[in-house]
A = this chain, B = another copy of it.
């Protein structure tokens, strides 16, 4: 449904990079959920560019909730949150040149020239701020249910981070720590090397990508559906909405393709009266349905398309070959900024799955 996602809990997003505002409508929220504006600010800050490894455009992300909240709690009516655009420099973008790696050409094919091309328009990563705000509205309620979501930069510019723990208590500790730091790595020395590599790419007028790894702990067993609404289907649908995500894998993912069945099968085990698996090769999901183990997935983030280096491309007005050197403000890497977007859409999917299973009344 284009710009709406979700079955029982739906999020609708809107906005363009250089328009008056971007925003989201959340519909299907249970009434009475506490709205933590400070937390929304915290999450938006995690997405904001920072220092030399990001774009120079910096939005304050002052948001405004215009409906669905009364006296600090959700009313149960649709919640609309607006984030005005303030720091826009449209002069940078007025051109008919199709930037390589961007959606300029595909947008032209789809919208026949009527798209608002300034700053990437509706395709801009800027719109992910609306997703982050929406996610921040449901994350506290998930936390109250004992569900913890967190993401680390598993790989960036060729540098690897340490691994998430397979021990659940340690994992929760790791995820909580990640949620408080702007550059989400478990091993800060790896983080330093990543940032150095990003700066090096920037100095070359180039950009880098990476892999984000996410864990969701505390999900009840039995969420999801065998077929089209498998947990993998719903999460991947939402994750591939995030610009730059080009791959999604669950558990061992592509590595499972080379394993033997006797290895890939996660042995079921009784542990203090609870059913667990010894390993988690399948990322906490079997037959599309959660089994109570951490749900683990990874997203491949491609390098930012806007670069300073001169590239060949076409002018869409004249249909001629031209050279293009990146103008406008941009990021040599968005992996660290995309992390909170991944957490946010994961939170929205989880909240939807819970609402489908337990109803709107299930949140009381």
Q: Is the CB of B250 within 8 A of A246?
A: yes
Q: Is the CB of B247 within 8 A of A254?
A: yes
Q: Is the CB of B246 within 8 A of A287?
A: no
Q: Using A75-B16, A121-B75, A260-B207 as known contacts, say yes or no to A109 and B289 having CB atoms under 8 A apart.
A: yes
Q: Does A230 contact B (CB under 8 A)?
A: yes
Q: Is the CB of A14 within 8 A of B123?
A: no
A364 contacts across to B, CB distance below 8 A: 112
Interface residues on chain A, number (Cβ under 8 Å): 152
Say which residue of B110, B210, B265, B282 sits within 8 Å of A76 (CB atoms).
Answer: B110
Residue of A28, A111, A312, A320 most packed against chain B (CB within 10 A): A111
Q: List A166-210 residues whose CB lies under 8 Å from chain B.
A: 201, 205-210
Say which residue of B233, B261, B269, B270 sits within 8 Å of A236 (CB atoms).
Answer: B233
9-residue interface stretch from A45-53, A98-106, A134-142, A144-152: A98-106
Say which residue of B2, B75, B248, B304 sits within 8 Å of A229 (CB atoms).
Answer: B2
- What are the interface flags for A1-39 relative to B under an 8 Å C-beta threshold, 1 for contact and 0 otherwise? 111110110101111100111110101100110000000
Q: For the complex, give the distance between the alpha carbons of A70 and B112 in Å.
A: 13
Q: Does A58 contact B (CB under 8 A)?
A: no
Say which residue of B158, B248, B258 sits within 8 Å of A248 (CB atoms).
Answer: B248
Q: Is the CB of A304 within 8 A of B25?
A: no
Q: Is the CB of B358 within 8 A of A361?
A: yes
Q: Is the CB of B78 within 8 A of A3?
A: yes
Residue of A1, A205, A312 most packed against chain B (CB within 10 A): A1
Q: Is the CB of A2 within 8 A of B115?
A: no
Q: For the complex, give the distance between the alpha carbons of A307 and B267 in Å.
A: 13
Chain B residue, CB-CB nearest to A209? B257
- What are the interface flags for A200-227 relative to B under an 8 Å C-beta threshold, 1 for contact and 0 otherwise? 0100011111110000000011111111
Q: For the complex, give the distance between the alpha carbons of A267 and B359 in Å.
A: 31
Q: Is the CB of A78 within 8 A of B252?
A: no
A-side interface mostly: mixed
Q: For the complex, give the distance between the alpha carbons of A31 and B16 in Å.
A: 14
A307 contacts across to B, CB distance below 8 A: 261-262, 265
Residue of A207, A257, A262, A281 most packed against chain B (CB within 10 A): A257
Q: Does A264 contact B (CB under 8 A)?
A: yes
A355 contacts across to B, CB distance below 8 A: 359
Q: Is the CB of B25 within 8 A of A257?
A: no
Q: Does A245 contact B (CB under 8 A)?
A: yes
Say which residue of B12, B209, B289 sits within 8 Å of A4 (CB atoms).
Answer: B12
Nearest CB on B from A204, distance (A): 8
Q: For the complex, give the distance between the alpha carbons of A103 and B222 in Å.
A: 10
Say which residue of B66, B223, B261 sits within 8 Å of A23 (CB atoms).
Answer: B66
Q: Is the CB of B309 within 8 A of A254?
A: no
Q: Does A347 contact B (CB under 8 A)?
A: no
A109 contacts across to B, CB distance below 8 A: 220-222, 289-292
Q: Is the CB of B259 within 8 A of A302?
A: yes
Q: For the complex, give the distance between the alpha carbons of A191 and B275 in Å.
A: 40
Q: Is the CB of B209 within 8 A of A227?
A: no
Q: Does A164 contact B (CB under 8 A)?
A: no
A362 contacts across to B, CB distance below 8 A: 358-359, 361
Q: Does A155 contact B (CB under 8 A)?
A: yes
